Amino acid sequence: MATALKNSFSKDQWFNKRELISYLLVISGSIIFAFGNIKFATPYGLAPGGTYGLSNVLNAIVHWKVSYLAACMDIPLLIIGTLILGPRFGFKTILSTFVILGATWVIETYWGYAPILHNGILDASQVAAMPEYMQNTMCSIGQGEQLVWFVPDYFMNTIVAGLIYGIAIGLIFKSGATSGGSDIISMIINKYTHLPLGTLVIIVDTTITLSTLVLGKGFRLPIYSILLIVIEGKVIDIVVDGLKSYKTVFIVTNKYDAVREVIISKMKRGGTHIHAKGLYQGLERDLVYVSLTRRELVTLRNLLSDADPDAFVSVSDSSEVMGRGFKALRSNAA
């Protein structure tokens, strides 16, 4: 950890505009994450993986502050992870960990756990007057004078929570920071078992999500937690990669000049020409490789139908395309 911190404090990095923006992304993303967790996930007992998901479950059982519970997991995991895995965690990851902890403590201490989205706040007398079957549908958060009963709106709350989580973690990822927490457990297991890291992350987060079953709400909380994770993942992709959807196109053609004219002159795009040979008959063919936006693909398809209706075209999705005409490589440097 000390090595990672030392490497992060070079003068060139601190006085670089791009690096300054990345630190602002880390801090803002961390604060947004803390807000989303305390005001949307914690009141409903949702556990969308990670140490904060487990902290939400434990908060409902032992009534400790979420920040205290998360600190008891995150800080030891950072230390253990550094000892076992080496100085893999950069300063931004460490900064994000402590900003989230601090923001979480401030929000839960001075704002409380009362949810923003609900169908009504109730007092204890109103809850006591309800039939037992209706009481079981209510949610409560906190204890003593801070006890809050409310009529839940699981679906809308989960959608908004997923959006907030996705924006927050997307900003953190975009800054070049990586997630710590429960991911460190997956990295450690991966080191000694060599099981795929992606599989281990899913196993760890699924176990945390299923821990909501101890709260006695049946499968409702795990299902909504999984829905939150799905929404979060899609939003992270949008924040990190943008809304544009890119397509990678391979065109096998006998009319190379006509296809080249379409791409260069009519579409104002570049591409790569590769000499290829067919496997079946061993005939020499021309292969054109080009990256396009979704809208440009529609145009290319229409133009190719006239230029070479017999062309073989393979289209695949590209999560990101960098270089001239697309996203600049330099803007992605951490």
Q: For position 326, what pLDDT does the model report?
A: 65
Q: What is the pLDDT of residues 228-238, one digit of tens each?
A: 998 988 888 88
Mean pLDDT of the residues in the chain: 84
39 band by pLDDT with thresholds 50, 70 and 90: very high
Q: For position 333, what pLDDT does the model report?
A: 41
Return the exposure string of 170-208: e unless at least 16 CB atoms fall within 10 Å of the residue's CB, then b. bbbbbbbbebbbbbbbbbbbbeeeeeeeeebbeebbeeb
The residue that leads in pLDDT, 68 or 147, is 68
Match 């690096």 to its residue by tokens. 19
Q: For position 32, what pLDDT does the model report?
A: 96
> Are the CB atoms for 183 and 93 separated by under 8 Å?
no
Mean pLDDT across 319-332: 64
Task: Report the alpha-carbon distance of residue 248 to residue 313 in Å, rounded.
Answer: 10
225 band by pLDDT with thresholds 50, 70 and 90: very high
The total number of residues shown for the chain amounts to: 334
Classify strands 139-141 and 121-122 as parallel, antiparallel or unpaired: unpaired
Task: Report the alpha-carbon distance of residue 65 to residue 246 in Å, rounded.
Answer: 44
Mean pLDDT across 85-110: 87
All structural domains of the chain = 2-117+153-241 (no CATH), 246-332 (3.30.70.120)
In the predicted structure, residue 177 carries a pLDDT above the cut 80:
no
In the predicted structure, residue 313 carries a pLDDT above the cut 60:
yes
Mean pLDDT across 14-27: 82
Return the exposure string of 299-312: e unless at least 16 CB atoms fall within 10 Å of the residue's CB, then b. ebeebbeebbeebe
Q: Hey, what are 227's tokens?
A: 């829905």
- Following CA atoms 178, 180, 184, 186 in sequence, which dihedral angle do they give, to the nearest 10 degrees? -70
Return the beta strands (E) in the chain as ranges: 121-122, 139-141, 148-150, 246-253, 272-277, 284-293, 312-318
In the predicted structure, residue 310 carries a pLDDT above the cut 80:
yes
In the predicted structure, residue 88 carries a pLDDT above the cut 90:
no
Mean pLDDT across 62-79: 91
Mean pLDDT across 258-265: 90
Task: Report the alpha-carbon distance of residue 168 to residue 67 in Å, rounded.
Answer: 17
Mean pLDDT across 88-111: 89
Percent of the chain with pLDDT over 70: 88
330 band by pLDDT with thresholds 50, 70 and 90: low
Q: Hey, what are 261's tokens?
A: 């004219």
With H, G, I as helix, E, B as strand and everything else as coil, classify residue 331.
Answer: helix
The residue that leads in pLDDT, 183 or 167, is 167
Q: Which residues contact 174 (CB under 8 A, 6 or more apart)?
A: 22, 25, 29, 239, 240
Among the listed ranges 15-19, 231-235, 273-277, which one has the minimum average pLDDT value? 15-19
The pTM assigned to this predicted structure is 0.76
In the predicted structure, residue 117 carries a pLDDT above the cut 70:
yes
Q: For position 334, what pLDDT does the model report?
A: 43
Mean pLDDT across 44-73: 92
